[in-house]
Structures are given as structure tokens and as C-alpha cells.
Amino acid sequence: MEKKITIAIDGFSSTGKSTVAKGLAKKLGYVYVDTGAMYRAVTLYMMRKLFVSNTNLNEEAIVRHLPFIGLKFIFSEEAGFGEMYLNDERVEKEIRYMEVSEQVSKVAAIPQVRKKLVEQQQEMGKEKGVVMDGRDIGTVVFPDAELKIFMTASTEKRAQRRYDELRERGDEVAYDAVLKNVKDRDFMDSTREDSPLIKADDAVEFDNSELNLEEQFDKILKIVEDRISE
């Protein structure tokens, strides 16, 4: 029987981490966990209940609400992966809105939020055979993962990809606003005190600025297959 490993994929926003991770999980028959969706779901809850915004980020109130948040992934045959449910409500679409993107890094920087979600993520991946993507998977969640990949791309490329994705979905957004959001999230993710976004020493850095989806998937799949066969 082929051994199963833990694959940790970290990197900046809009580098295609989730797309690659979903593809790998499907190809390998692994469990896929989108940790970013978990932080987005917590943010959505806080926006609804506490009106979290740039001018209203009450950390104490957010922490008090954490026990009332239930998160789970339910596999969707149509989507081909586990979709995010917040307190039994499917929120896969809602958590991708720009309004959530603008607040998620702030909520994710709160230590108690990270502690709660990291514990859940570690439980999800304890049997291995998992592909997990996020910001701190290889450094905090699974520091002993057999394969760590750190994905990156130029800021402009990432902003264009995110803009195209949002427009294709029907969202009315301006490219400049998306670019600013990408830069702001980069700064907040990289400079937060708790579990900042950094490349693990033993991670494979992968710049996909000039690669299409098929090219990057093929290259990363080769890295994965080589690691599994070691």
C-alpha cells in the first residue's frame, strides 16, 4: 500500500493554493482542508453578529462569541470537495465576498481565534492523507509534515487573478480595490504577532507568476509523487 503523507501548502493570498490543493486531494484520494475558509467563516459570523468592520473590531467580544461557532466541511458531489458550513448553514459563496476578504486578516490575527482553529485543523489531519492549505500549515499546524510547499507570485498577478475571479462570479469590483486588498492582506499576514506568514525552512518555494493552472499543477504533482516515493 502506498504510504500516505501530510501535504502542507502555505503562501500569500490569491496564489492558487486552494485550486492546487483541491486538485492534489482529488488525484491522490486525500482529504482536502481549506483553512482559509475556516477563518473566513469565523469572520462572516463576526460581521453578522458584531458588525465587525475597519472601525469596529472588538477583540474581547469576538473571543466571547467563539464558543458559539460551529465549523465543518461537508463533501459536495457537485463541487468535488468539502464545502464550508457555519453552524449548519452552507456559506461557501458568502465567505468569498470582498467584504469578508477585507476583514479576515484582522480576525485571523487574534490569538484565541487561531488557537481554536489550529486545534480543529490538527484533529482533521491526524490520520495523514491530507492536503491542507493556509498561512501557517507548515510552520504551526503541521510542522512535521512530510511535504511543505510555499506558493508565491507577483502582487499584480495575484490581484489580476482575484479580480478576474470576482468579476466572473458577477461581483462589481474595481481592480485597484482588489490590488489594495491583496497588499493589505500580505502586510497583515506577514507582520501579525501570532503565527505570521513565513516560509518554513524545509518548504519548497514555488513561484507561479508565469504558469497557468495546468502547468503549475503538473509541476507540483511531480514534487508530491517524488516525496511519496522516497
Instruction: Name the residue range of residue 144's domain.
Output: 6-228
Annotation-wise, does 105 bind a ligand? Answer: no
The CATH number that applies at residue 164 is: 3.40.50.300
- Residue 1 inside a domain? The answer is no
Annotation-wise, does 15 bind a ligand? Answer: yes
State how far the Cα of 133 lies from the Cα of 33, in Å rounded to an integer.
Answer: 7
Instruction: Look at residue 55 in the predicted model and tell me its pLDDT.
Output: 62
Annotation-wise, does 14 bind a ligand? Answer: yes
Question: At 97, is the secondary structure helix, strand, or coil?
Answer: coil
Annotation-wise, does 195 bind a ligand? Answer: no
Instruction: Look at residue 45 in the predicted model and tell me its pLDDT.
Output: 96
- Residue 21 inside a domain? The answer is yes
- Residue 103 inside a domain? The answer is yes
Annotation-wise, does 16 bind a ligand? Answer: yes
Instruction: Look at residue 51 in the predicted model and tell me its pLDDT.
Output: 76
Annotation-wise, does 13 bind a ligand? Answer: yes
Question: At 69, is the secondary structure helix, strand, or coil?
Answer: coil
State how far the Cα of 126 lies from the Cα of 99, in Å rounded to an integer.
Answer: 33
- Residue 117 inside a domain? The answer is yes
Domain count across the chain: 1
- Residue 166 inside a domain? The answer is yes
Instruction: Look at residue 132 in the predicted model and tell me its pLDDT.
Output: 96
- Residue 76 inside a domain? The answer is yes
The cell numbers describing 11, all together, are 503562501
Instruction: Look at residue 163 in the predicted model and tell me its pLDDT.
Output: 95
Instruction: Look at residue 171 in the predicted model and tell me its pLDDT.
Output: 87
Across the 230 residues of the chain, what is the mean pLDDT of every consecutive 10-residue run? Answer: 89 92 92 94 94 76 95 88 94 94 92 96 93 95 97 96 92 93 93 92 96 94 94
Instruction: Look at residue 104 in the predicted model and tell me its pLDDT.
Output: 93
Cα 220 → chain centroid: 17
- Residue 58 inside a domain? The answer is yes
Annotation-wise, does 43 bind a ligand? Answer: no
Q: Phi/psi zone of residue 11: left (φ > 0), alpha (ψ -120 to 50 degrees), beta?
A: left
Instruction: Look at residue 54 in the predicted model and tell me its pLDDT.
Output: 62
DSSP string, 120-139: HHHHHTTTS-EEEEESSIII
CB 34 within 8 A of CB 21: yes
